[in-house]
Structures are given as structure tokens and as C-alpha cells.
């Protein structure tokens, strides 16, 4: 397929292409080796890539790959072909079957987006008094509704709840595990609709809450090196800040040595106190301050050792704030534009 013109370009002798709800390419006998398939998403969703080998006696080999793709995203796929017995190879792209959704006491829930290998999802509304609050984070001010979620399969899926009461007050969606631990989920609130992304294959309680969340990028990864980061932070909600926490790479002393946050009329700075016994990953500001929702704040962060890094130019934090990288200059003078330090701005 020529993605510029939309025309089919078939340059393989004897190949047969069929395009519709199911897209299939049948190839004649090929040479042994690895073959590459380049796929472009025409929309956002899940597809199944099926490669079958056929002989005169029928299909004798079949491999299935399930993936999620977004609109205009390009994905590479490769497969090994052994033509000892095959006379024909067929490559098929099709949409996998929808999982079963069972809802009890919930009339407004749908599966908004799903990843491969999700077979069944059960949603049941429960009373907020039934939620285990022993380990509830201190930032949670109120619980508005709660749901028991059971799912069969693997990987992630998203649930959409429409016509949610008190949606205007919901700022955080948590998962409460069987052991009582609370985990912040990736979620969005649009009007009266709440979407949350969960991991399949586990039973848990999903809780809609009002919470004063920190700006938290979540953990990052290697590669890492010390240097100076510059960028912009845009909070989703107004928050109080007194500390900056830096995620360090395992087995290292990764930390922030200096931070400056500013806008056109104001700035605040803080410096590191060294490797103290318990708190060396944190920097404490001299006075607490407020970051206002939907305002842009420039940051400068100088790091030491090996902090964890978000290797993106723009990143959505766990609370749905946005942070970007305008420049990172490492200690050797090399410049990058997609290195965001893994940090948390919070108030103790």
C-alpha cells in the first residue's frame, strides 16, 4: 500500500491482495529467511496479525500477534519463514473479538479502549463504606463512588463511565488492591465522563475521589547522566509544593542538586543538602508555595549521579499535568531535547 496515494502497489510476482474488513496478502513460495511487514494505523484500536503457512495438505503452521496501534502510527513486524514444507504464506490483519462486559448496578459503563488478550470484564458498583481505607493516601479528601472490577486476560484495558455524579469534583481515580494498598490510575475526566486504565487479570476496587495530587512523572529509565534540564510544567490542578523528589536509578545516588521554578513575575529556588541519612532524594524549599492550575511554569533542574529519565519531549504526569523538555545539557556538554527528569513536586 502506498500511504501517500492510497493505491495498492503489488511488486511480488503471484501475490494476491485482498482489502476490506479483513486485510489479507497471499504469497507464493518464498525463499527462507526473515520477512518484514510495515503497518500504518488508519485509526486507534487493536489488530491481530496472523501469519499462516500452507502446503498441499492444508495449513500446517500459524502464528498470531496481537497489538494496539494509534492513527498514523507506523509499526514494524517481522516473521521467520521456513519454506521446507510451505507452498503458500498468508498474512492477515483483522480486528480481534470484543471481550465480554458484565455490569451489575452500573448502566453507564463501557470498554473504551483495550489492548490484546482481554477476554472478560465484570464491573459491580459497591458502597463507598465498603472500601478499605486503612492505607488511603492522605491527599484523598473524599470518596464519591466505588466499583469492584474483575477481569480475565492480560495487558491493559480502559473503562469509560458516563453520566457520573460529582464528576466535576473528581480529580483522582485509585485502584485498591486485595491487600489494601492504593495505586493511582491513569484517568481522565471530561464533563460527566470518567475514563480509567487498568491492568487485566486481577481483582480490585476502583475508587473515584477528590484528591490534591502531587505533580508526579512516575519512574523513568536508563540511559542516564547528570546535567541541567530545562522545560515547562503545566499543572492540571492547583497544588501546594514544599519538596521536590527525584527518582534515582537503582544502585545509584541519583538526585537533584538545584531547582528553579519561575514565570514572568515570580521565581523560587532550592538546593540539595547532600546525602543525608533518610531524605537525600528530596530537596526542601525554604517556604511552601502554590502552583496554579493551567498556568505555565519554567523549570531549571541540575542533577547529580544517575537520576531516572523520561525519554520524551513531552510527558503527561500521573495527575495529568504536562511537563516538557526544552533542553537537556549533560555534564559532557552534549544537548538533548527529549530528556525529562523523573520527579515529584509535593507538599509534606
**pLDDT tens digits for 80-111?**
666 665 566 666 655 555 566 776 667 788 87
pLDDT, one tens digit per residue, over 11-32 is 666 666 666 555 666 666 666 6
Cα 274 from chain centroid (whole Å): 33
- Rounded Cα distance between 146 and 205, Å, is 7
Phi first, then psi: what are they for 130, rounded to 5°? -85, -10
Picking from 94, 117, 139, the residue at the C-terminal end of a domain is: 94
Torsion angle defined by CA atoms of residues 19, 21, 22 and 23, in that order, rounded to the nearest 10 degrees: 30
Number of domains in the chain: 3
- For the chain, which ranges sit under pLDDT 70? 1-37, 43-72, 75-100, 103-105, 113-118
Q: Pull the grid cell for residue 311.
A: 525519554
Report the C-alpha gap between 30 and 12 in whole angstroms.
10
Same domain, 190 and 282: no
7 lies in some domain: no
Whether residue 8 lies inside any domain: the answer is: no
Bridge partners of 120? 100, 152
Residue 285: C-alpha distances to residues 238, 288, 345 (Å): 18, 7, 11
- All three cell numbers of 252, joined, read 545509584
- 207 and 244 in a single domain? The answer is no
CB distance 216 to 183 below 8 Å: no
Spell out a b/e string for 296-310, using b for 16 or more CB atoms within 10 Å of the CB, else e.
Answer: ebebbbbbbbbbbbb
- Burial label, 47 (beta-carbon count in 10 A; 0-12, 13-18, 19+): buried
Shared-domain flag, residues 227 and 340: yes
pLDDT of residue 242: 92
Q: What pLDDT score does 49 carry?
A: 65
Q: What is the pLDDT of residue 329?
A: 96
Structural domain includes residue 11? no
**Domain termination site, one of 196, 211, 226:** 211
CATH number of the domain to which 189 belongs: 2.60.40
**Is the separation of the CB atoms in 124 and 104 below 8 Å?**
yes
Helices (H), the chain: none
pLDDT number for residue 248: 93
Helix (H, G, I), strand (E, B) or coil at 167: helix
Give the pLDDT confidence of 107-156 residue by residue, as tens digits. Answer: 788 877 655 566 778 899 999 999 999 999 888 889 999 999 988 777 77
Whether residues 58 and 179 share a domain: the answer is no
Question: Where in the sequence is the domain holding 315, given as residue range(s)?
Answer: 215-346
pLDDT (0 to 100) of residue 6 = 62
Q: Give residue 234's pLDDT.
A: 95
Q: Is residue 118 part of a domain?
A: yes
The pLDDT assigned to 112 comes to: 73
Amino acid at each position: 500500500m502506498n500511504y501517500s496515494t492510497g493505491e495498492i502497489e503489488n511488486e511480488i510476482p503471484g501475490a494476491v491482495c485482498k482489502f476490506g474488513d479483513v486485510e489479507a496478502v497471499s504469497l507464493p513460495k518464498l525463499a527462507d529467511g526473515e520477512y518484514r511487514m510495515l503497518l500504518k494505523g488508519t485509526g486507534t484500536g487493536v489488530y491481530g496479525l496472523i501469519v499462516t503457512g500452507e502446503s498441499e495438505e492444508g495449513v500446517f503452521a500459524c502464528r498470531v500477534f496481537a497489538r494496539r496501534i494509534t492513527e498514523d502510527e507506523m509499526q514494524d513486524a517481522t516473521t521467520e519463514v521456513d519454506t521446507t514444507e510451505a507452498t503458500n504464506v498468508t498474512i492477515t490483519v483483522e480486528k480481534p473479538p470484543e471481550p465480554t462486559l458484565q455490569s451489575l448496578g452500573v448502566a453507564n459503563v463501557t470498554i473504551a479502549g483495550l489492548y490484546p488478550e482481554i477476554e472478560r470484564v465484570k464491573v459491580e458498583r459497591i458502597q463507598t463504606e465498603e472500601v478499605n481505607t486503612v492505607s488511603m493516601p492522605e491527599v484523598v479528601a473524599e470518596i464519591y463512588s466505588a466499583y469492584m472490577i474483575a477481569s480475565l486476560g492480560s495487558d491493559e484495558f480502559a473503562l469509560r463511565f458516563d453520566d457520573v455524579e460529582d464528576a466535576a469534583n473528581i480529580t483522582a481515580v485509585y485502584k485498591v488492591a486485595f491487600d489494601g494498598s492504593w495505586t493511582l490510575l491513569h484517568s481522565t475526566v471530561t464533563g460527566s465522563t470518567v475514563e480509567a486504565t487498568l491492568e487485566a487479570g486481577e481483582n480490585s476496587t476502583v475508587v473515584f475521589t477528590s484528591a490534591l495530587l502531587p505533580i508526579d512523572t512516575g519512574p523513568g529509565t536508563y540511559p542516564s547522566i547528570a546535567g541541567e534540564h530545562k522545560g515547562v510544567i503545566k499543572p492540571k490542578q492547583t497544588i501546594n509544593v514544599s519538596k521536590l523528589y527525584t527518582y534515582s536509578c537503582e544502585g545509584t545516588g541519583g538526585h537533584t542538586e538545584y531547582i528553579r521554578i519561575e514565570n514572568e513575575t515570580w521565581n523560587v529556588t532550592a538546593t540539595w543538602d547532600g546525602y543525608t541519612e533518610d531524605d537525600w532524594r528530596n530537596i526542601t524549599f525554604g517556604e511552601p508555595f502554590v502552583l496554579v492550575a493551567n498556568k505555565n511554569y519554567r523549570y531549571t533542574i541540575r542533577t547529580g549521579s544517575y537520576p531516572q529519565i523520561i525519554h520524551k519531549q513531552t510527558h503527561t504526569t500521573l495527575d495529568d499535568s504536562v511537563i516538557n523538555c526544552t533542553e537537556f545539557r549533560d555534564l559532557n556538554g552534549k544537548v538533548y531535547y527529549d530528556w525529562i527528569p523523573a520527579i515529584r513536586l509535593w507538599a509534606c
